[in-house]
Amino acid sequence: MKQKIIIDTDPGVDDAIAIMYALTCDQLEISLISSAGGNSPIENITQNALHLMDLFNKDIPVVQGSAKPLKREPIYAPAAQGKMGLGDYTYDRTQIKHKLVDGEACDVIYKKLKENNGNTSIVSIGPMTNIAKMLLKYPDSKNFIKEVIFESGTKEKICDKPYKSFNTGYDPEASEVVFKSGVPLVMIPMELGHFAYLDKQDIKRFKECNETGKIFGKMFKGYHDYHVGNLGAAVHDACAIYYLTHPEFVKQEKAFIEVKYYKTETENYGYIDIDFNKTPNATVCMDLDINMFKYDIFKALQTYK
């Protein structure tokens, strides 16, 4: 029986890799893709999601999500993901064929969850705004969520202060709503993406694989992860899908996670605090088999002629 998933995403170069991989996994059934404002304004993000369906020739419903965080003004990530969200890759937006599903993401996600009757995991590889809005509007929605697998957070510190990872930092109040809802949580911290990055030889191999690989090569050229730097391209979000398809290759630990806030006269941001000594409310993925991860990512890419 296939695992039904909803991918809530803000594509995003590493989001595009995650989606590419998920589409090839026989054990997954993607019920819906919802766009979440984050890496770029919601209009760009949604167009990117629609274009990816055209690019990969898949007929999966796409719905547009929230344009801004619950309580904050949006702060995008053009330095990391490129002006339009997909690095140095561009496309003709007038030629997009895939059509949006009518409605607001929080409503459409809720409807899809109820249709699937509790057998749906939400893969959150963007800010959690859409999920939080749904939980606030439809409190019973948590009863239809098998688990929320999300990419964000880190144990790292920079200059002795908590590191502001992007997805939670963009909308910490939304993450707080999700964490406090009681839904089962699986955390894919940034460290996992820093282990699971594609080095320069991997990127060269990507570009030589096929036309789809060449497109990803253009994305990678304009993609800049602060921690990986010139070593290659971190593919954080693909780790969330990999947890679903190959949990045996992912080291997991139980921990208590919560959103905390770092406030000074000049800064006010949210971050995820991880405590392995408290009663756990989440599974935290600590490491993965990098050789198997790369093998499966390239195997997925090779399915695109």
Structure-derived torsion over alpha carbons of residues 208, 213, 217, 223, reported in degrees to the nearest 10: -150
Q: Kindly state the DSSP code that residue 14 receives in the 8-state scheme.
A: H
Torsion-angle region of residue 47: left (phi > 0), alpha (psi -120 to 50) or beta? alpha
Number of domains in the chain: 1
Cα torsion 123, 128, 133, 139: sign:
positive
Q: For residue 142, which phi and psi values (nearest 5 degrees)?
A: -65, -25
Q: Can you count the helices (H) and strands (E) in the chain?
A: 12, 13
Determine the pLDDT at residue 174: 98
CB half-sphere exposure, 286, CA atoms < 13 A: 9
Determine the pLDDT at residue 279: 97
Contact (Cβ atoms closer than 8 angstroms) between residue 243 and residue 3: no
Neighbours of 100 (CB within 10 A): 15
Determine the pLDDT at residue 227: 75
CA distances from 220 to 86, 157, 176, 185, 247 (A): 8, 26, 32, 30, 27
pTM: 0.96
Its domain, for residue 131, covers: 3-301
Determine the pLDDT at residue 155: 78
Under 8 Å CB-to-CB from 117, ≥6 apart: which residues? 144
d(CA 28, CA 20): 12
Determine the pLDDT at residue 194: 87
The single-letter code of the amino acid at 96 is I
Determine the 3-state secondary structure of 69 from DSSP: coil
pLDDT digits (tens, 9 = 90+) for 185-219: 999 999 898 888 999 999 999 999 999 999 999 99
Intervals of the chain under pLDDT 50: none
CATH number at residue 203: 3.90.245.10
Neighbours of 195 (CB within 10 A): 14
